[in-house]
Amino acid sequence: MDMPTRPTRDPYQETPVKDFSYINTQHQIPKKSHNRWLWLVSGVIIVLAAVGLFFYSKSHSSNNHKAKTTKSVVVQKTTKKTVPAKPVNSQPNIPLTTYTSTPFSLTVGYPSGWSVSAQGSTSMNIISPEMALTADNGKTVEGKIVVNVVQQKQVPTAFGTTSVAVLNSQDIAFSKPTPYQAAQTYISFIQYPSTTIIGGLDGIYVTGNNGYIKDQNIPVANIDQVSPLIYVTFEQCQNSNCSSLSNLTISSSMWNQSSFKTPILAIIESFSFS
């Protein structure tokens, strides 16, 4: 009896590959849900840190700005302090006799022992009593101090076109300035070009707003601007009673002597112009 024929297996037919990916899946460690909270908290912390850094930087910048502003104010105040203050009458008060000159429209005071000589509207002189003066050669001589008042541009010929400052100018204040005059002025210490001894002082000039440092040239054009022109000169006695006088150059070191400069400053500071 014939046996039924078995189906023949195709030796080239591929055996399906089973998926074994399910094996041991029950043993994998599941992701814990709190990991998400950890990331969330971390993110919040980072955001807060960034915000805090932003406000800190802004605050620091603001503080720096304030510090710079404060420093600027301090600098401004310091600068203001370095500007010379309005001069005051620092010399001792001495009794003065008042003299009024109508031609020059002024009032001035002079100390006891001094005298006034006026030649109309041409000139006015305030003359000291006889005193000891140190000449530019160092010798002590008898002489007088003369405060001269003349019209504008009447500069002594000896001034030349240019003279030189032998000391730094000094800023002084008028004791009773009127609305018609400045409250203060410079006085400058001048050596004429014909004087050859170093440190010789020929005159003390009221130079208004112009001040000079030692050894600086002073053009006569600057002196011509002052009206009226006020300057101090020195005279040497030529005889026993000092009735005859000649021009004298004194040592600029005399300005350090209080007895010499006090009456000169008192007279100049007392000028009042109407």
Cα gap 204→189, rounded to integer Å: 5
Task: List, in sequence order, every beta strand (DSSP E) within the chain.
Answer: 96-101, 106-111, 115-119, 123-127, 131-134, 140-150, 162-165, 170-173, 184-191, 200-201, 203-208, 217-219, 229-237, 245-247, 250-251, 272-273
Whole-angstrom distance, CA of residue 152 vs CA of residue 273: 14
Torsion of CA 242, 243, 246, 252, to 10 degrees: 40
- CA distance linking residue 174 with residue 188, whole number of Å: 16
114 vs 146: CA distance, rounded Å: 9
pLDDT tens for the 274 residues of the chain, in order: 444 444 455 544 444 444 434 334 444 444 455 556 666 666 667 767 666 666 666 555 554 444 443 332 322 222 333 334 445 445 557 999 999 999 999 999 999 999 999 999 999 999 999 999 999 999 999 999 999 999 999 999 999 999 999 999 999 999 999 998 999 999 999 999 999 999 999 999 999 999 999 999 999 999 999 999 999 999 999 999 999 999 999 999 999 999 999 999 999 999 999 9
Closest among 123, 261, 257, 250 to 199, alpha carbons compared: 250
Structural tokens at position 28: 């994998």
Please state, in angstroms and rounded to a whole number, the distance separating the CA atoms of residues 101 and 161. 30
What pLDDT score does 144 carry?
98
Model pLDDT, residue 51: 61
Q: Where are the chain's structural domains?
A: 32-82, 96-273
Task: Decide the pairing of beta strands 184-191 and 170-173.
Answer: antiparallel
Residue 99's pLDDT is 97
